[in-house]
Structure 1
Amino acid sequence: METVRLVSNLLSNNPVRSLKGNFVWTFTGNVIYAICQWGIFIAITKLGTAEMVGQYALGLAITAPVFLFLNMNLSVVMVTDKRDQFYYKDYFILRLITLFLSMLIIFFLIIFFDYSFITLLVIILVGCSKVIESISDIFNGISQKVERMQVIAISKILKGVISLVGVIIVLYFTKNIIITNLSIIVSWSVVLLFFDYRKGMESLLLNDNNKNNNKVISRPSSLNSLKCIAVISFPLGVVASLDSLNLNIPRYFIQGMLGEESLGYFAAIVYLMVAGGTVIGALCQSSLPRLSQYYKEEKYNLFKTLLLKLLLIAFILGLLGIIIAALAGGTVLTLLYNQEYAQYKIVFILIMISTAFWYISSFLDVGINATQNFKMQIPIYAATILTSIGTSFYFIPAHQLVGGAIVVCIGMAVRFTTSVIVLRKIMKAKDFRNLAPSLN
């Protein structure tokens, strides 16, 4: 707790940074957080069992789509709302309501699954950790809106490091996956209470000369405001849940057909895809406010120039991942996990191909979000999810874990293709095609 207070004091009154500075901070925070989350998987594989990895991965696979749907990406709506139509308190109250509904849905869902008591308890605890994470997201969204990305970066670093250290200590002494999940909940709660809340309140003072801030705490939330935010955000909730389902559908099939141990191997390899997205995540977060501002001010030339630069970075990073997997996939898996994982080199290569499509699609989605055309993303993810379901029925029974990787690859390719079509439609509507952006 003392460490959290010290970092909080160091960040007090930090000015809003440039896009480059924001990227450096966000990239640093995302890299450390991703390494720590990845480290949790590695710790479970080294200090626990493949079954524990499968239980933890299953908890994430079941809870993530529910929370992503009902969280409705409120922070994105908040950041892109450059006219400040709603008070921050409205977003917070709506988030609390949806978190309550999320936990109810999860309790209802697990009743129908024939899982062991330990697995059910892991799912519930992972859901509780998602509750803490979702509350932090609202306070971090306030800082993101004023481009104070250093706050979000420090929050992620604190959550990542504290939770990883806790997991290693708990697993080493107890070998208990339940207590391990409890340690994550405690560590994230400490960061929320002693850092995220304080920094979020400070960031309110930086937005539009306190335009909305005097009433943000005392004013009661309007039911009409909550409804309006929910209507605006609902498409983003659908998109986020479908995106999560696309990655998790193969996991459901693998768990049902091959068991939790096979799911553990697959989930550990797929996590390399998530961990490798730290650069993309940093750029997405730091570029969204700027792209949104360019679009609002009709600076379409700057909008297109920045987006093209981001897409070029995504392509280069995706290609690099494919090359590494093809040349040294078995060695990488052995070093990161153990020798047993080296047999899944083909799975690793296919996942890296999927990652390349995912990187590029992520920036296309940021471009769409910046224009607040949230509803136009629903067909993208609907097509992706239907493809994943259809291909899972064939490829996973026939090719097992390789089949699961093929499903992810096809799904991401569909997402990329449909995202290009949607963004081109938006650009044509604003006559983007007549602009000749400079990449200098």
Structure 2
Amino acid sequence: MSMFFNNFKTKDLTTRENIMWNALGSLVFLGCQWLITVFAARLSNGYSDAGVLAICMSIANIYAQVGLFKIRSYQVSDLTCEYSASEYICFRLISMAMGLAFVLLYAIFTCSLPTAFSVFLYCVYKSFEVFIDVLHGIDQKSRRMDLCGISMFVRGVLSLLVFILSFAFLKSLNVSFLCMILVNVPILLLDWYGAFSVCNAGEFHFAFSASRWRNLFVECLPSAIGVVCCSAVTTVSRQLLDYMSGSEILGIYASVCTPAVIVQAGASFVYAPLLGDYAAYLYNGDFKKIRKSFVVSVACFLFITGVSLVFSYLFGDWFLRTVFGSSISGYTDLLYLALVSAVSTALIGYLTDLSIVFRNMRASLICNLIPLLIVGPLTIWFVSLFGPNGVSIAIVISFIIGSIALCISLANTIKRLTRNSTTTGK
């Protein structure tokens, strides 16, 4: 095993190779997560289990955002190594504890007790993904995203397989979540060893002072709250659909729309491995490359949106009927707006990450809070007019408004930095 990782350690990957490994692993992982929702619907009677799973995933996504604390973007753009790898790891454990306490209280007050227990188990499963993310930050900073891709590939496939087997025989989401938790333990150990292999061993000394934790907490708190607000936009809109139309309709909506998450991930592949490059451009004062990369990334978002809509128009109905059966055929129209919603989610995530790289934390908070404040009234209004499609419409409008605000903030930041660079003669 040590020879395996030592061989990986011998060479840094190019940006293109990092993007390819990240894309492969992320696509497989998210595809398997979507297939879990598919089998939850196909292996049970009706869509109630799919609705409960949708609630679990939505609330666990809030937990993930609190646990992640948006440290990954800060971590990979920390070119001067202001904080060590062990400090990022220790901070992740603290943020995960805060996130779990927060979402459990949220689930108890907003869900029935059986659903709240299911949310707890799914959050424990989600904890593996959240903790491994900080290890992948070490891999990415060392330009070794092949380790990230392999981990996501294996975790996705194994989680899917144990879910199918356990749910097919026992028809219990809770038992299936427990099986998914157990199968992720050995993968966590391999990810730990992989991060240790590509990082300086001295960075794993686990000396973490309260003052260092406080500094990192204060620095990243605005962006972390902003990302939680961003994640809550989807959760709030889906829960409102549940209250207005019932778990059955929510389960149908979630089942149809989950493939759009893969498109959202595809959009994130455009920029996620490039955050370190953005930080290097900023450090060197190369604002022309920042602008060029920004234009290329936005063009890729538009291209992905167009291609996904065309494929949905041509093959969407056939695909959904093949996966879910004929009972879903009357809801194919939900897919089109869900795709637009997914890309708008990826877009605001991209702009938020850029704000963090530029250390403009206040903008990342304010511009993500705006969509959360308006999505509730918009969802109630549009669901009453357009049914489940109203959820996607409300999300798109909310995120577009937030994205416009972030673009204005980023443009002002670049202008200010360019002016300062010209003044100092850098």
Q: Same fold (TM over 0.5)?
A: yes
Q: What's the offset of the Cα at 1:9? A: 4.3
Does structure 1 conserve the Cα–Cα contact (< 8 Å) formed by 2:67 and 2:130?
no
Q: What's the offset of the Cα at 1:114? A: 5.0
Residue 245 of structure 2 corresponds to: 258
* 1:276 aligned residue (248, 259, 263): 263
Residue 189 of structure 1 corresponds to: 185
Farther-moved stretch of structure 1 (268-277 vs 26-35): 268-277
* 1:110–1:219 CA distance, 2 compared to 1 (3 A): closer
Gaps of 5+ in 1: 206-212, 436-440
Q: What's the offset of the Cα at 1:192? A: 0.4
* 1:159–1:382 CA distance, 2 compared to 1 (3 A): same
Residue 133 of structure 2 corresponds to: 137
Residue 359 of structure 2 corresponds to: 372
Which residues in structure 2 correspond to 1:333-348 (within 5 Å)?
333-348=320-335
Residue 406 of structure 1 corresponds to: 393
Does structure 2 conserve the Cα–Cα contact (< 8 Å) formed by 1:57 and 1:264?
yes
Residue 49 of structure 2 corresponds to: 52
Farther-moved stretch of structure 1 (407-416 vs 125-134): 407-416
Between the aligned partners of 1:196 and 1:136, the Cα distance in structure 2 is 7
For 2:324, give the aligned amino acid: Y
Q: What's the offset of the Cα at 1:302? A: 1.9
Identity among equivalent positions (%) equals: 18
4+ residue runs of structure 1 moved beyond 4 angstroms? 5-11
Residue 382 of structure 1 corresponds to: 369
Farther-moved stretch of structure 1 (105-114 vs 48-57): 105-114
* 1:97 aligned residue (87, 94, 99): 94
Residue 33 of structure 1 corresponds to: 29
Q: What's the offset of the Cα at 1:73? A: 1.5
Between the aligned partners of 2:260 and 2:402, the Cα distance in structure 1 is 16
Residue 302 of structure 1 corresponds to: 289
2:224 equivalent to 1:237? yes
2:156 equivalent to 1:149? no
Between the aligned partners of 1:343 and 1:7, the Cα distance in structure 2 is 54
For 1:167, give the aligned amino acid: F
TM (normalized to structure 2)?
0.92
Between the aligned partners of 2:373 and 2:362, the Cα distance in structure 1 is 18
Give the match's secondary structure for 1:81: coil
Residue 19 of structure 2 corresponds to: 23
Give the match's secondary structure for 1:139: helix
Spell out, residue by residue over 1:364-391, the C-alpha distance to the aligned partner (whole angstroms, 9 max, x if none): 3343332222221112111111121220
May I ask how many residue pairs the two structures share in their alignment?
A: 420
Residue 194 of structure 2 corresponds to: 199
Q: RMSD across aligned C-alpha pairs, in angstroms?
A: 2.3
Spell out, residue by residue over 1:71-109, the C-alpha distance to the aligned partner (whole angstroms, 9 max, x if none): 312222111111111122222222212222222223323
Does structure 1 conserve the Cα–Cα contact (< 8 Å) formed by 2:163 and 2:179?
yes
* 1:388–1:260 CA distance, 2 compared to 1 (3 A): same
Does structure 2 conserve the Cα–Cα contact (< 8 Å) formed by 1:126 and 1:181?
yes
Does structure 1 conserve the Cα–Cα contact (< 8 Å) formed by 2:73 and 2:353?
no
For 1:142, give the aligned amino acid: I
TM (normalized to structure 1)?
0.89
* 1:383–1:203 CA distance, 2 compared to 1 (3 A): same
Between the aligned partners of 2:270 and 2:396, the Cα distance in structure 1 is 23
Gaps of 5+ in 2: none
* 1:67–1:30 CA distance, 2 compared to 1 (3 A): closer
